[in-house]
Amino acid sequence: MKKREVIAKRAAEEIKDGNYVTLGNGIPTHITSYLNPRIKVTFLGENGVLGMGPPPKKDEVDPDLINPSKETITIKPGAAFFKTSDSFNMIRGGHVNLTFLGGL
């Protein structure tokens, strides 16, 4: 297993049912691949989308719906879009349970 996968898998273990979790770019966007499928989580992309869903199927791709790593996503019912700065305000204001930001 590659180091990036080990990091993403370990981070996924910290996420609990009902959490609101911010995902930044890079490794954080891969955390979703290692989540326990029985838990319900609301994902906030640091790029300003609350309610990110899984990657789309080929016939569902909308190039305007992306995660912080610029990969296409789906959105869940009730999703919201806002400025990136508001996303970071939610993080700093303590409105999310966990935040995983990418390091450059």
Which residues does 77 contact at the CB level (< 8 Å), separation at least 6?
A: 51
Q: How far apart are CA 89 and CA 3, in angstroms?
A: 30
Q: Which of 5, 14, 46, 71 is catalytic?
A: 46
Q: Note whether 75 and 53 are within 8 A (CB).
A: yes
Helix and strand element counts for the chain (H, E): 2, 5
Concerning whether 5 is annotated as a catalytic residue, the answer is no
| Catalytic residue list | 46
